[in-house]
């Protein structure tokens, strides 16, 4: 079964997951009721699910039915669970992921709208329980706010996207109902660089590629040359850092570009 995006998964279950304005202690009673739902999502979509409480800096729940990471949940739920997570990041990409996480938290804190509407997609390289590393996509949403509407509990989905992405690359894509912000990490300069969101033409070509149409068919539909279509395809691959068109389409669906 193909992996689903946040939007697809939340379409039917968002009312159950969305917390609204509640006291910080409420998660202790709320999340155990959702365990069957999370287990189902983890099993069906090959995704590692983790809930993090920012106030106490603790992982309060994990499920990994398909062994995306493979570690026992007790390793994450321990008092030093966050340190355990950090220790498994690849040294070559650790700074990339750390900078993306810092930018994401700052975005949540500065966002003037409903923080539960923000979806963060960031990447890194993580060591699996078997000792090998995999390129991951972490999707994060706020699911709990305090009485002052400050986000503090975050739901994270972690996918293995090694088969989709080029080596040593990283994208940060943050979406809200009215905005998309996009950065690529420059490993030579150790910084995030803004990426221009997809143009209308790029969105159309990406959508037609996702329908399985060839460059010739797309060119005929859009009244442009096949060469122009192939140029847009190359630019899309460069922006997303994907290995090939098939991988780009899968990645685009995961992060909400399609």
pLDDT for position 144: 86
Q: Where in the chain is the domain with CATH 1.10.10.10?
A: 198-258
**CATH architecture group of domain 6-197:** 2-Layer Sandwich (3.30)
Question: What number of residues does the chain have?
Answer: 258
Read off the pTM: 0.88
Residues in the chain, pLDDT under 50: 1-25
pLDDT tens digit sequence for 190-209: 999 999 999 999 999 999 99
Residue % of the chain over a pLDDT of 90: 78
Answer whether CATH 1.10.10.10 is correct for domain 198-258. Answer: yes
Question: Do residues 120 and 139 lie in contact, with contact meaning Cβ atoms separated by under 8 Å?
Answer: yes
pLDDT for position 148: 82
Question: Do residues 161 and 251 lie in contact, with contact meaning Cβ atoms separated by under 8 Å?
Answer: yes
Give the C-alpha separation, 192 to 85, whole Å. Answer: 22
Q: Where in the chain is the domain with CATH 3.30.450.20?
A: 6-197
pLDDT for position 125: 98
* Neighbouring-strand partners of residue 89: 126
What one-character DSSP code corresponds to residue 94? H
H or E segment at 248? helix 245-255
pLDDT for position 27: 56
pLDDT for position 149: 82
pLDDT tens digit sequence for 9-50: 444 443 444 433 343 345 556 667 788 899 999 999 999 999
Which single residue is written with the structure tokens 């975005």?
107
What one-character DSSP code corresponds to residue 54? T
User: How open is the CA angle 94-96-102, to the nearest 5 degrees?
Assistant: 100
User: Which residues fall within 8 angstroms of residue 98, CB to CB, at 6 or more apart?
Assistant: none
pLDDT tens digit sequence for 204-216: 999 999 999 999 9
């Amino acid at each position: 079964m193909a992996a689903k995006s946040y939007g697809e998964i939340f379409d039917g279950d968002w009312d159950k997951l969305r917390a609204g304005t509640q006291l910080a202690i409420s998660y202790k009673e709320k999340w155990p009721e959702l365990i069957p739902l999370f287990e189902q999502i983890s099993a069906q979509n090959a995704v590692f699910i983790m809930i993090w409480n920012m106030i106490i800096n603790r992982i309060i729940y994990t499920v990994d039915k398909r062994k995306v990471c493979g570690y026992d949940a007790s390793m994450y739920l321990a008092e030093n669970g966050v340190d355990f997570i950090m220790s498994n990041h690849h040294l070559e990409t650790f700074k990339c992921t750390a900078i993306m996480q810092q930018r994401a938290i700052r975005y949540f804190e500065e966002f003037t709208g409903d923080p539960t509407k923000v979806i963060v997609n960031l990447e890194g390289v993580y060591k699996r329980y078997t000792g090998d590393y995999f390129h991951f996509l972490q999707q994060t949403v706020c699911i709990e706010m305090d009485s002052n509407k400050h986000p503090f509990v975050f739901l994270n989905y972690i996918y293995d996207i090694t088969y989709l992405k080029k080596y040593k690359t990283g994208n940060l894509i943050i979406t809200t109902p009215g905005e998309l912000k996009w950065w690529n990490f420059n490993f030579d300069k150790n910084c995030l660089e803004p990426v221009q969101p997809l143009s209308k033409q790029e969105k159309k070509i990406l959508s037609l590629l996702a329908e399985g149409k060839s460059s010739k068919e797309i060119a005929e539909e859009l009244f442009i040359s096949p060469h122009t279509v192939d140029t847009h395809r190359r630019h899309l691959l460069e922006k997303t850092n994907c290995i090939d068109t098939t991988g780009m389409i899968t990645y685009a669906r995961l992060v909400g570009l399609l």
